[in-house]
Structure 1
Amino acid sequence: HSVEDAGRKQNDVAQAMEKTLTKLREKEESYKHNAEFLLLRGRCLGVAPEFSTTAEECLSRAVKLEPGLVEGWNILGEQYWKKGDLTTAKTCFTGALQQTKNKVSLRSLSMVLRQLPGGGGDEQGKRVLESVDMARQAVQLDVTDGTSWYILGNAYISLFFTCGQNPQMSQQALSAYAQAEKVDRTETANPDLHFNRATLFQYEEMFGSALGGYSRAAALDPAWQEPPERERQLLEYLEKLTALTENKGKVKARRLRTMLSNLSTSALGPCSSPQFRSPAGRVGSLEPRNLSALAHGHNTGVAALGKVVFSLASEGRMAFTFGMVDSEETCCVIMVYNTADSWGVLIGDSVVIPEPQVKRHSVAHNDQTFDFRSIRVDSPLLLIVNGKRQNVQAQTAASVSYKPQSE
């Protein structure tokens, strides 16, 4: 089917399901105590997006009559999942695996493990690691199954956000998604894949790719409201950010000169000490450097120094974003990740960024273009604000909503 037909999908599925159920009803009297018949009926009813009591009853009877019916256990697990009973769903998938090792149970278990509530950070971390292992095993059973590769990509995104944001995990997720599309053409039409990948692209500041992904997800599932909403929010964020950078946060020229006259190397604080240890582990004082003199990428041994001229509290933001102007009146965007909701900087604050990571953005989407430079800061604890380090309460682990409407 083409993208133009995407809006008809749910209706088409409902019609096909009703036709099949009508045929099954004609045979019901003869086969109502047959496990395979009950499985067929349960599978047909299970196609609907919502929980079905009748499907649950059919499938429960099917696996009682024939406990080795792996598909019955798997579809029953999916019903409990739709019902919100994740613990019983997990029991069903585990039960299916006790019968025989199969990719459907493994990847379903991978998904459920990531969604189980409760437990502290350590317990959640263990569940996510186990989830990745289950998804890997599913892929190993059939490397040509695009769905298994897609689930593995989701598991790696979970691992990335719950276990320290290791860039290797982000790359593993993107590789798994690419493999899903390579081995199975239908995965290129999976709106969830495009949405999840776009979320990761946005976090990695690959804004053009993120906008393209949200747009593609929206086209593939017109009824799903979150992708176009994310696309709108990101475009609005980029519009505001570039406008504020160009006019230096609309700070009047006289006020800006007064602010910058107070900017001195004393704001470097601990960065001026020969004992200062940089985020990369280098020991020694940092040399203040103007924004225009910073190279793209990692700037070792130097610090960016400036005054805050604006901050941006956008919808669905992934980073605390502010604009900083240096002594040459050059303005640059600063994106700070893993900030607590209570943390922020005020207009006029002096900010030092040790060994800044500089990036140039040239974003084109539909008929809009955005061009700007930014500095990425992975934690507020890396910043020196008004000569002082930030306390540990300034930081919190990123919580990014990448979860699809369904996996």
Structure 2
Amino acid sequence: MFSVCINTKCFCYSLVPVDMESSEDVADLVEKLYQYRDNFVDTHGLNNIKEKPGLVKCEMDKTLCRLKEQESNCQKTMYMLLYAKVLNIVPEYSRECEEYLSKVVKRDPSLIEAWNMLGETFWKKGDISAAKDCFEGALKRSKEKVSLRSLSMVLRQLKPSKLGDEQKNILQSVEHAKEAVQLDVNDGTSWYVLGNAYLSLFFSTEQNPKVLTLSLNAYAQAEKVDPLSVHNPDLHFNRAAACRYEEAYKLALEGWLKAEALDPTWVEPRAKISELCNFLDKLNELVKKRGRLKNKRLQNLISSIKEKDLGPYHGEFVNKDKKVTLTSTNIKDLKEGRNEEKVLLGRVVCNLADLTLVPFTFAIVDSSGSCCAVTLYNLAQGRGMIIGDSVAIPEPYLTHHDIEWQGGSRWKFSSIRVTNPVVLVVNGKKLTNEHCGYTRVSMTPSDL
């Protein structure tokens, strides 16, 4: 996890020391070191997670010393590969590790593991282009899951050189991640990387809820096939991001809280929790108080709601070569889920453009005075609705939220999700493709 600054202070003790009996094969020493790191929560408990970076670093140093004692008993190329693998266990870049691996791939270009580790080392260094070359070089020699999923991650980090490159790279990223899963459906890391690829796809192309579902399914599969995935803070963090945009707000908060618990040095999960709580606080209050508008202005807005503002949704209209008639309805008469052959008309009483651009969030009041939130995805920046605008929403998809959180917080409101702006009629006119746009989201650089 490279978004985290990890304290590498070496502790001079170990709760579960790595076995370093001289009779063990040196490759087993390295494997035991990785097992020590990966099983840390199971062996030490979550209460000791703050000590993990220092303890892993301490065990790394012990393993390096043991390897040096066995150097004369090892084939030179294999010794350098194992030595580099030990150095590579920590998230920080190591120049010594890069130098060893560079020598290894020159001595034996067929060693796929060396190419993969060298690519990871360049990733840590910030040389994304060199990392990409290493993973592609490995794949030229063998179609292998680690190279595929690593290339998937690198492609999402490449800076586009021309228009359209970003989406192209992310689509390729998804395909490489899918290939890695197909090679080994029981590899949790590959499923996790696929989940991240789908989440990137959600924000780089149409913000389609189905893509979020694919991302969440991949994360769930990662935990199902690999119990160690439950200890991966990045998985919880990125899955929480997917839940947030699926509007499963409590699951998002719980996910970020878990990520923070698994990596207490990581400040971003707590920031995300505060950000979402602030959003829910404000949205809940604005819906409850109908935008906090003065009563006279509010009543004027309600009385100004007229059927003519339905625009093309007033009476019969053609939708995909099919004639459709929508029945006008109020918020209180909507059922949870999609309300087919219904249309909701209201006036905007507030928006939350100061808190979030994705989704663009506002609240409307209908002719009966009821108020609910509207979350609008795929909206171009600067095209949002303002107070007083009339908005007609065909076949509204309604969700009732009732969320309790730490410290006695409770948010209870209803919201309507709109995936595509062009279905809306604003001030009597249907929105056009000019109102559509895509926005990127910040994600953690996934573990390589």
- TM-score, normalised to structure 2, is 0.84
Match of 2:61 among 18, 21, 30: 18
* Aligned pairs (5 A) from 1:14-163: 14-26=57-69, 30=72, 34-119=76-161, 122-163=164-205
Match of 2:299 among 230, 251, 257: 257
> 1:332-369, CA deviations, whole angstroms, 9 ceiling, x for partnerless residues?
11111122221222222222112211111122223332
Query: For the structure 1 residues 120 and 299, does the alpha-carbon distance in structure 2 shift closer, same or farther, using more than 3 Å as the test?
Result: farther
Distance (Å, rounded) in 1 between the aligned partners of 2:204 and 2:386 = 30
Query: Is 1:164 the equivalent of 2:206?
Result: yes
- Contact 1:237/1:314 (<8 A) preserved: no
Query: For the structure 1 residues 181 and 13, does the alpha-carbon distance in structure 2 shift closer, same or farther, using more than 3 Å as the test?
Result: same
Distance (Å, rounded) in 1 between the aligned partners of 2:98 and 2:360 = 46
CA deviation after TM superposition for structure 1 residue 297, in Å: 1.6
Letter in 2 for 1:395: C
Aligned to 2:363: 323
Query: For the structure 1 residues 314 and 404, does the alpha-carbon distance in structure 2 shift closer, same or farther, using more than 3 Å as the test?
Result: farther
Letter in 2 for 1:384: V
Q: How many residues align?
A: 404
Distance (Å, rounded) in 1 between the aligned partners of 2:424 and 2:182 = 44
Distance (Å, rounded) in 2 between the aligned partners of 1:164 and 1:326 = 29
Query: For the structure 1 residues 319 and 165, does the alpha-carbon distance in structure 2 shift closer, same or farther, using more than 3 Å as the test?
Result: closer
The SS at the match of 1:284 is strand
Distance (Å, rounded) in 2 between the aligned partners of 1:106 and 1:391 = 39
Relative contact order, CA 8 A, sep 6+: which one is greater? Answer: 2
* Aligned pairs (5 A) from 1:8-407: 8-26=51-69, 30=72, 34-119=76-161, 122-272=164-314, 274-277=316-319, 283-315=323-355, 318-366=358-406, 367-404=408-445, 406-407=447-448
CA deviation after TM superposition for structure 1 residue 14, in Å: 1.8
- Contact 2:104/2:114 (<8 A) preserved: yes
Query: For the structure 1 residues 193 and 121, does the alpha-carbon distance in structure 2 shift closer, same or farther, using more than 3 Å as the test?
Result: farther
- Contact 1:305/1:353 (<8 A) preserved: yes
- Contact 1:233/1:316 (<8 A) preserved: no
The more displaced of 164-173 and 214-223 is 164-173
CA deviation after TM superposition for structure 1 residue 22, in Å: 3.1
CA deviation after TM superposition for structure 1 residue 186, in Å: 0.8
The more displaced of 148-157 and 129-138 is 129-138
Distance (Å, rounded) in 2 between the aligned partners of 1:379 and 1:248 = 25
The more displaced of 178-187 and 268-277 is 268-277
Distance (Å, rounded) in 2 between the aligned partners of 1:248 and 1:160 = 31
Letter in 2 for 1:127: N
Letter in 2 for 1:7: K
Letter in 2 for 1:376: R
- Contact 2:207/2:419 (<8 A) preserved: no
CA deviation after TM superposition for structure 1 residue 374, in Å: 0.7
Percent identical among aligned pairs is 44
Distance (Å, rounded) in 1 between the aligned partners of 2:147 and 2:366 = 57
- Contact 1:93/1:108 (<8 A) preserved: yes
Aligned to 2:32: none
CA deviation after TM superposition for structure 1 residue 394, in Å: 2.5
- Contact 1:31/1:37 (<8 A) preserved: no
Query: For the structure 1 residues 129 and 312, does the alpha-carbon distance in structure 2 shift closer, same or farther, using more than 3 Å as the test?
Result: closer
- Contact 1:212/1:365 (<8 A) preserved: no
- Contact 1:230/1:316 (<8 A) preserved: no
Distance (Å, rounded) in 2 between the aligned partners of 1:134 and 1:75 = 18
- Contact 2:207/2:378 (<8 A) preserved: no
Distance (Å, rounded) in 2 between the aligned partners of 1:40 and 1:316 = 47
> 1:103-143, CA deviations, whole angstroms, 9 ceiling, x for partnerless residues?
21121112112222215565433433332232223223333
Letter in 2 for 1:190: N
CA deviation after TM superposition for structure 1 residue 253, in Å: 1.5
- Contact 1:34/1:62 (<8 A) preserved: no
Distance (Å, rounded) in 2 between the aligned partners of 1:80 and 1:333 = 46
Distance (Å, rounded) in 2 between the aligned partners of 1:281 and 1:406 = 48
Distance (Å, rounded) in 2 between the aligned partners of 1:405 and 1:229 = 19
Query: For the structure 1 residues 323 and 167, does the alpha-carbon distance in structure 2 shift closer, same or farther, using more than 3 Å as the test?
Result: closer
The SS at the match of 1:310 is strand
Query: For the structure 1 residues 44 and 316, does the alpha-carbon distance in structure 2 shift closer, same or farther, using more than 3 Å as the test?
Result: farther
The SS at the match of 2:121 is helix
The SS at the match of 2:374 is strand
The more displaced of 122-131 and 261-270 is 122-131
Distance (Å, rounded) in 2 between the aligned partners of 1:302 and 1:13 = 60
- Contact 2:60/2:87 (<8 A) preserved: yes
> 1:10-51, CA deviations, whole angstroms, 9 ceiling, x for partnerless residues?
2122222222233344566x5899111111222122223222
- Contact 1:52/1:79 (<8 A) preserved: yes
Letter in 2 for 1:17: M
Query: For the structure 1 residues 168 and 113, does the alpha-carbon distance in structure 2 shift closer, same or farther, using more than 3 Å as the test?
Result: same
Letter in 2 for 1:116: L
The SS at the match of 1:362 is strand
Distance (Å, rounded) in 1 between the aligned partners of 2:217 and 2:387 = 41
Match of 1:6 among 31, 34, 49: 49
